[in-house]
Structure 1
Amino acid sequence: MAPPISSNDLLRIFNRLDKNGDGLICVQELKWLLDTIGIQLTMEELESFLEKPSLDFDEFLIFYESMSKQNKGECKGGLVDEHEDEDEDVEIVYMAFKVFDVNGDGFISCEELENVLSRLELWDANRSEVDCRSMIRAYDTNLDGKLDFEEFMNMMLFTN
């Protein structure tokens, strides 16, 4: 199954956070990103977790993977418990869904999708609303113009 955020998207996020172009993002920039997507950590917790003042892209990827797998079940008897792996995927997608469902109504509208992508600086301001609607339409199985959790999960877990 594909991760909720692709490596290419992670690189774009990293490059946007790296304002001075030195190939590093500092703890403050990382905290801003986490706050933006709804992950609440204190600066002290983040500094303690990272044990360094800044991250290069490879370290950023490791940080992302560790945050994504923070609650993942351990291997049992040398074999991965696939049920726990699926539960973890659903939990990660649900956390992402809550970030996109800005008004908490259980659906992601075009406006909410554009809002969150803009906050993450992943939305090109020159794109038209039609692009956003076509993104939703591709996974909107009940054709109501918005994504419910199941539709969002299908989009996140079954696309490359």
Structure 2
Amino acid sequence: MSSISTNDLQKLFKSLDKDNSGRISISELHALLHRIGIETTLEDLQTLVPRTDLDYADFLSLYEAIANENDEDLWQAFKVFDVDDDGFISCEELKMALTKMGFMEKKSREDVRDMIHVYDKNSDGVIDFDEFKDMMSSGGV
């Protein structure tokens, strides 16, 4: 999940708050999640959100909880690639991981280096966690 700016979150909340009450109902939130492809039951959502409606602060907290959960999943994936556990994915580590997953049959070392170059924002020749998140959210691997 890519991060959404606070301004965009405010716009989203206001668009859900049809009656301008400063609150959105769980059913309105459920409808939004369904529209963007997140399948959950209303009952599951109600266990996650203990109230019948949310104010903007509640909405932000829920977004942050979902984003943090996604970051934890990405961190676990990052650690699979970061074989030497130095906090970076090198060309060799990426090539090794992609080979194990069966994606390297037609890719050369230069292909992997080019892949790293595309996502290596600070041009240090390795992928850090933030760059990895960008790579995964854009479908780079």
The answer for the alignment partner of 1:85 in structure 2 is: 66
The answer for the alignment partner of 1:25 in structure 2 is: none
Of 103, 110, 130, the match for 1:150: 130
Of 85, 104, 109, the match for 1:104: 85
Rounded Cα–Cα distance in structure 2 between residues aligned with 1:129 and 1:121 = 15
Q: Deviations over 1:74-119 (max 9, x none)?
A: 5314678211110011101100110000011111011100101111
Query: How high is the TM-score relative to the length of structure 1?
Result: 0.49
2:71 is paired with a residue whose SS is: helix
The answer for the alignment partner of 1:116 in structure 2 is: 97
Query: How high is the TM-score relative to the length of structure 2?
Result: 0.55
Rounded Cα–Cα distance in structure 2 between residues aligned with 1:122 and 1:75 = 37
Higher helix share: 2
Task: Give the ranges of 4+ consecutive aligned residues of structure 1 lying more than 6 Å apart after TM superposition.
Answer: none
Greater relative contact order, per chain length (Cα 8 Å cut-off, separation 6+): 1
Rounded Cα–Cα distance in structure 1 between residues aligned with 2:127 and 2:107 = 20
How many percent identity over aligned positions?
Answer: 43
The answer for the alignment partner of 1:139 in structure 2 is: 119
Larger Rg: 2
- Superposed CA RMSD in Å reads 2.0
Q: Deviations over 1:104-152 (max 9, x none)?
A: 111101110010111111221x321111011111110110111011111
Unaligned runs of 5+ in 2: 3-46
Q: Deviations over 1:36-67 (max 9, x none)?
A: xxxxxxxxxxxxxxxxxxxxxxxxxxxxxxxx
Rounded Cα–Cα distance in structure 1 between residues aligned with 2:75 and 2:68 = 10
Unaligned runs of 5+ in 1: 3-73
